[in-house]
Structure 1
Amino acid sequence: MKTKILFVLLFAGLGCYAQNSTDEYFKLTRAGFIEKNAYETTAFVEKYFRVPGNTGFNASIHYVENILKKAGFIEQRQNEFEAPLTYRIEKRAMKNSTWEPVDANIDIVGEKQPLISYKTNRNMIPINCGSTVAGGVTANVVYIANVLPAEIEKMDLKGKILFSENSPSRLLQIATKAGAIGVLGYSMPNYTQPEVHQTSIQFGSMKANSEVWTLLLSYAAKEKLKAACLKGETKLKVNIQTKIYTSEELTIVANVRGSVNPNERFVFSAHVQEPGANDNASGVGTLAEMARLTAALYQAKKISPKRTLTFLWGDEIVSTRRYITEDTTRAKGIMWGMSLDMVGEDTKKTGGSFLIEKMPDPSAIWTRGADKHTEWGAGDVTEKDLFPHYFNDFIFDICKTQGKFANWTVNYNPFEGGSDHTPFLQNKIPGLLMWHFTDVFYHTDNDRIDKVSPTEMKNVGISGLTAAYTLISADENTAIATVSQVKIDALTRLKTEFELSKKEIAKGKTITDEKHIIEVWAKWYTDALATINKMPVKSETTRVGSSIKFATNEIEKQTKVYLEELK
């Protein structure tokens, strides 16, 4: 009994100590993060249609470089730890040519106004699309609705333009074989609400070096062209101008050297490619301001990182995976990874909510209650794929604290995958995603700077940096406080799952299956608690291990109670 009381007192005192440490980081990041800087970087990057190696992608990398230079980062010459603040631009020859759009127009012959134009719809040109002859081409349109590929092959398409309410890439091979000169298509998922946002086009791609060009239509353009075709013969004048050329792929990496364990690090990643403002110019802009602020706080001696903090900008998934895999020694020291992808949304305009996508926990398998997948869809997760770790709850709790402070809505979703957090997880490194979804402008050419919120980027930047500063300098007190918080989160989750299981059993589900869900959650959390042992930069006593054991016992005890009650 005395031991239990002592532990309670220990948790109370040390939890307060660690919270005070995090509170200090919150004060620094809230005061120092300049949302105007993040917004201006986002505005610069979003001007370009960014593909690795093209003008806009490289301009964005060099824009970030200038921010780093002004902040005090020194260009790396020999190794990344030759100075406290370093950066480098990695250059790699590209196997394939890069691509960028220049201009495009589709005109219905006989009408004054264009059907659609690149000036208003830059996503109308799929990546890798070639140019028409100078001045464009004029040809008849053949409209097909739900015609089978075999029937299309029998049609007279030579010298004509094939128009379908399907993705043009699906018809490219058939159209080429049939002698068509081009394909017009339409492909918009329901969550983008195309009948409401009738000018939106989601960006796409096509096979490189194709003899036939393809273009994408908005809902409004598709309906107008369809109506014209149903009335009778329709001719279009199509003019496409793009650039295809050899180039280099660039990745920029900045480091703030840790003073005690420099080879252990927290890595932030924001991908540059994709043409949108929120996706992902906002990630680039937010991370650039996070790096600037970190350098300022370091130089003012307001923070003293014990582990290294790394910032990375590059090609989505490709650059992050390469950073992890091409240096095995470096990879062993990566303790946490965080992807910033679509972090600046004005949620009143986009409809998307700020989310933390969790590492695989049981909610990715049994998604019920308040847990919800986004329109992106569930990942293929089984029990062997679960990734127990305190990182899920630690980051969510930090974000909730900022949410309460700033009246900022914070949610989460079960693991789905598809961004820069996945290479971390694939290499057994804790990795999370900060993002927004479901967004009606996702991947569309209406994802422009007017949909970006500087305040949203500030909240994300504050939360990310506060969490990172806390972790890279964590001591035993931080770890013990985290044990206490994760234990609370675990008991809350178990209670929720218990109540859900009772309802499911009442509906006819088996007791065995419902017990199993609770058992898996309990094991996930007890295994997650065990990972806190590695949190402190230095651990000189057994206090962290003892606190983990105490919390584990409480969880196991409560789990047993719930399992008994389900009988």
Structure 2
Amino acid sequence: MKIKILFALLLAGLTTYAQNTTQEYFKLTRSGFNEKNAYETTAFVEKYFRVPGNSGFNASIYYVENILKKAGFVQQKQNEVEAPLTYRIEKRPMKNNTWEPVDANIDIVGETQPLISFKTNRNMIPINCGSTTADGVTAEVVFLEKTSAADLAKLDLKGKIVFSENHPSRLLQLATNAGAIGVLGYAMPRYTQPEVHQTSIQFGSMKANSEVWTLLLSFAAKEKLKAACSKGSIKLKVSIQTKIYPSEELTIVANVKGSIKPDERFVFSAHVQEPGANDNASGVGTLAEMARLTAELYQAKKIVPQRTLTFLWGDEIVSTRRYIVEDTSRAKGIMWGMSLDMVGEDTKKTGGSFLIEKMPDPSAIWTRGTDKHTEWGAGNVTEKDLFPHYFNDFIFDICKAQGKFANWTVNFNPFEGGSDHTPFLQSKIPGLLMWHFTDVFYHTDNDRIDKVSAVEMKNVGISGLTAAYSLISADEQTATATVSQVKNDALARLKTEFELSKDAIAKGKAVTDEKHIIATWSKWYVDALATINKMPVKAETTRVGSAIKFATNEVEKQTKIYLEGLK
């Protein structure tokens, strides 16, 4: 008993030391992160409809480069460890042409006001859509309530414009075969509340090099065109101007070299492509300011990173996956990955909440209690896909601390996938996503700078950097404090799951199934505790190993009590 008490006292002292270190990092990031810088970068990037290789995407990359250069990063000549602060722009030829929109307009012949215009709805032109002639085209429009091949075969569509309440890509091939010149369509999910936000259009794409153009309509434009069609035959004048040309794909990578283990690293990733302000100009802007501040603190010797900190901007998933898989020796040193995607939302306007998407834990399989998936939807996670690691709880606790300090709402969701955290996980590297959802303006042309909050970006940037600084220079004290934190989180989760399982059994669920859920959570946390052994930079982990063993025993003891209590 005395040994246990002494060990607990020692652990409490180490925890206090680690907490003080984290608080020092919080002070540096809270005072140093300039949200105006992040906002200005976001405002620059969101002006463009960004597709890899097009002028807006490349302008965004070079804008970030200028920020890095001013901050003290030097262009890498041979390798990334040749200087403490380096950056490089990777250039790759693209197999396919890039694309960018220029202008578009749809007029109902005989009316003075346009049905819809690129000036107000830049998402009306799907990616890869070609151009009409400079003067546009005028043709009769045919509204299709039924869109099967058999129904289309009965209609004369040659030289006409097809209109339906479906995504135009679904009708493209059928319309092409029928001799139509264009397709108008509509596709807005319910969570975007199109009846309320009637001018929104979610961006889309179409098959490249098609002879038939397609355009997307907002709810308001769709309803107006339907009403016009119900009154009889009408004609539309449509003009579309786009650019399609060969280009190269750009990715920019910046590094702050670690002083002890430069080959081990924390990687932040923010994708540039997509046309929105929150998605994902806000990620680009937040990460650029995080890199600038890190350089400032490093040069002032206020931080001394012992592992490398990497910042990456590029094409979503593609650039991150390439960074991981193209250099196997580098990949072995990636210890953590973090995706910044849709991190700047003014939640009062968008309706979203800041979320940390967890690595696959049992909540992705058994989603119950206060856990819930977003409208993005659950991923297909099985028990073999579970990824036990302390990273989930470590990041969530850092964000909660900032939330308490700044009165900032922090939530989480079970794993769903779909952003730059997935390549890390696919390569067995811990990876998390910082984002917001549900957002009524998600992927729409109403996702503009007025929906972005500089304060929200600051909270995300502070949390991300404080966590990264703590991990890249973690010592035994940091690790033992994390053991205590994860153990407490494990016990809290097991208590929650035990109560949920008791209720489930009372409602007729099988006892064996409920015990399996408890046991799976227990194993997940026991395995997560074991991963903390690799956290300290220096491999002196005797104390850490003892702390892990002590915590594991507590978790397993409590698990046994809960399993015996389920009858």
TM-score interval (norm. to shorter): over 0.9
Tell me by how many angstroms 1:541 deviates: 4.6
1:429-468 deviations in Å (ceiling 9; x for gaps): 0000000000000000000000000000000000000000
- Tell me how far apart the structure 1 counterparts of residues 200 and 244 of structure 2 sit (CA, whole Å): 25
- Tell me how far apart the structure 2 counterparts of residues 409 and 446 of structure 1 sit (CA, whole Å): 24
Letter in 2 for 1:526: V
Tell me by how many angstroms 1:478 deviates: 0.3
- Tell me how far apart the structure 2 counterparts of residues 207 and 436 of structure 1 sit (CA, whole Å): 30
**Which residue matches 2:377?**
377
Tell me by how many angstroms 1:6 deviates: 1.3
Secondary structure at the aligned position of 1:220 is classed as helix
- Tell me how far apart the structure 1 counterparts of residues 470 and 111 of structure 2 sit (CA, whole Å): 63
**Which residue matches 2:135?**
135
**Which residue matches 2:181?**
181
Secondary structure at the aligned position of 1:175 is classed as helix
- Tell me how far apart the structure 1 counterparts of residues 219 and 86 of structure 2 sit (CA, whole Å): 48
Secondary structure at the aligned position of 2:537 is classed as coil
Letter in 1 for 2:404: K
- Tell me how far apart the structure 2 counterparts of residues 142 and 70 of structure 1 sit (CA, whole Å): 56
**Which residue matches 2:44?**
44
**Which residue matches 1:274?**
274
Q: Quick check: 1:548 aligned with 2:560? A: no
Residues 477-496 of structure 1 mapped to structure 2, 5 A cutoff:
477-496=477-496
Secondary structure at the aligned position of 2:244 is classed as strand
Q: Check the 8 A contact 2:355/2:434 in 1, yes or no.
A: yes
Note the residue ranges of structure 1 that are not aligned, 5 or more in a row: none
Letter in 1 for 2:4: K
Q: Check the 8 A contact 2:530/2:548 in 1, yes or no.
A: yes
- Tell me how far apart the structure 1 counterparts of residues 147 and 36 of structure 2 sit (CA, whole Å): 52
- Tell me how far apart the structure 2 counterparts of residues 346 and 296 of structure 1 sit (CA, whole Å): 28
- Tell me how far apart the structure 1 counterparts of residues 35 and 518 of structure 2 sit (CA, whole Å): 43
Q: Check the 8 A contact 2:74/2:86 in 1, yes or no.
A: yes
Tell me by how many angstroms 1:10 deviates: 1.3
User: Is 140-149 or 175-184 further displaced after alignment?
Assistant: 140-149
**Which residue matches 2:71?**
71
Residues 406-445 of structure 1 mapped to structure 2, 5 A cutoff:
406-445=406-445
Q: Check the 8 A contact 2:533/2:541 in 1, yes or no.
A: no
**Which residue matches 2:196?**
196
**Which residue matches 1:115?**
115
1:8-44 deviations in Å (ceiling 9; x for gaps): 1011100000000000000000000000000000000
- Tell me how far apart the structure 2 counterparts of residues 10 and 144 of structure 1 sit (CA, whole Å): 74
- Tell me how far apart the structure 2 counterparts of residues 325 and 412 of structure 1 sit (CA, whole Å): 28
Secondary structure at the aligned position of 1:239 is classed as strand
- Tell me how far apart the structure 1 counterparts of residues 478 and 35 of structure 2 sit (CA, whole Å): 29
Letter in 1 for 2:333: G
- Tell me how far apart the structure 1 counterparts of residues 539 and 204 of structure 2 sit (CA, whole Å): 51
Residues 252-291 of structure 1 mapped to structure 2, 5 A cutoff:
252-291=252-291
Letter in 1 for 2:341: D
TM-score by length of 2: 1.00
Residues 234-313 of structure 1 mapped to structure 2, 5 A cutoff:
234-313=234-313
- Tell me how far apart the structure 2 counterparts of residues 452 and 185 of structure 1 sit (CA, whole Å): 29
Letter in 1 for 2:21: S
Q: Check the 8 A contact 2:129/2:213 in 1, yes or no.
A: yes
**Which residue matches 1:172?**
172
**Which residue matches 1:354?**
354
Secondary structure at the aligned position of 1:544 is classed as helix
Q: Check the 8 A contact 2:158/2:179 in 1, yes or no.
A: yes
- Tell me how far apart the structure 2 counterparts of residues 212 and 493 of structure 1 sit (CA, whole Å): 55
- Tell me how far apart the structure 2 counterparts of residues 113 and 18 of structure 1 sit (CA, whole Å): 64
Letter in 1 for 2:448: R
- Tell me how far apart the structure 2 counterparts of residues 230 and 46 of structure 1 sit (CA, whole Å): 38
1:386-419 deviations in Å (ceiling 9; x for gaps): 0000000000000000000000000000000000
Letter in 1 for 2:36: K
Letter in 1 for 2:394: F
Secondary structure at the aligned position of 1:183 is classed as strand
Tell me by how many angstroms 1:3 deviates: 1.6
Letter in 1 for 2:184: L
1:502-553 deviations in Å (ceiling 9; x for gaps): 0000000010000000000000000000000000000325100000000000
**Which residue matches 1:102?**
102
Q: Check the 8 A contact 2:139/2:159 in 1, yes or no.
A: yes
Secondary structure at the aligned position of 1:243 is classed as strand
Secondary structure at the aligned position of 1:550 is classed as helix
User: Is 501-510 or 539-548 further displaced after alignment?
Assistant: 539-548
Letter in 1 for 2:162: L
Letter in 2 for 1:396: F
Letter in 1 for 2:254: A
**Which residue matches 2:498?**
498
- Tell me how far apart the structure 2 counterparts of residues 350 and 244 of structure 1 sit (CA, whole Å): 33
Q: Check the 8 A contact 1:346/1:456 in 2, yes or no.
A: yes
Tell me by how many angstroms 1:154 deviates: 2.5
Q: Check the 8 A contact 1:475/1:539 in 2, yes or no.
A: no
**Which residue matches 1:17?**
17
User: Is 545-554 or 151-160 further displaced after alignment?
Assistant: 151-160
Tell me by how many angstroms 1:310 deviates: 0.0
Secondary structure at the aligned position of 2:139 is classed as strand
Q: Check the 8 A contact 2:147/2:171 in 1, yes or no.
A: no
Tell me by how many angstroms 1:147 deviates: 3.5
**Which residue matches 1:390?**
390
Secondary structure at the aligned position of 2:171 is classed as helix
Secondary structure at the aligned position of 1:90 is classed as strand
Secondary structure at the aligned position of 1:519 is classed as helix
Q: Quick check: 1:219 aligned with 2:219? A: yes
- Tell me how far apart the structure 2 counterparts of residues 541 and 448 of structure 1 sit (CA, whole Å): 49
Tell me by how many angstroms 1:149 deviates: 2.2
**Which residue matches 1:366?**
366
- Tell me how far apart the structure 2 counterparts of residues 540 and 458 of structure 1 sit (CA, whole Å): 35
**Which residue matches 2:537?**
537
Q: Check the 8 A contact 2:136/2:239 in 1, yes or no.
A: yes
- Tell me how far apart the structure 2 counterparts of residues 540 and 319 of structure 1 sit (CA, whole Å): 35
**Which residue matches 1:83?**
83
Secondary structure at the aligned position of 1:61 is classed as helix
Letter in 2 for 1:118: F
Tell me by how many angstroms 1:226 deviates: 0.4
Secondary structure at the aligned position of 2:322 is classed as helix
- Tell me how far apart the structure 2 counterparts of residues 82 and 191 of structure 1 sit (CA, whole Å): 49
The aligned length equals 567
Are the structure 2 counterparts of residues 541 and 120 from structure 1 closer, same or farther at C-alpha, using a change threshold of 3 Å? closer
Secondary structure at the aligned position of 1:498 is classed as helix
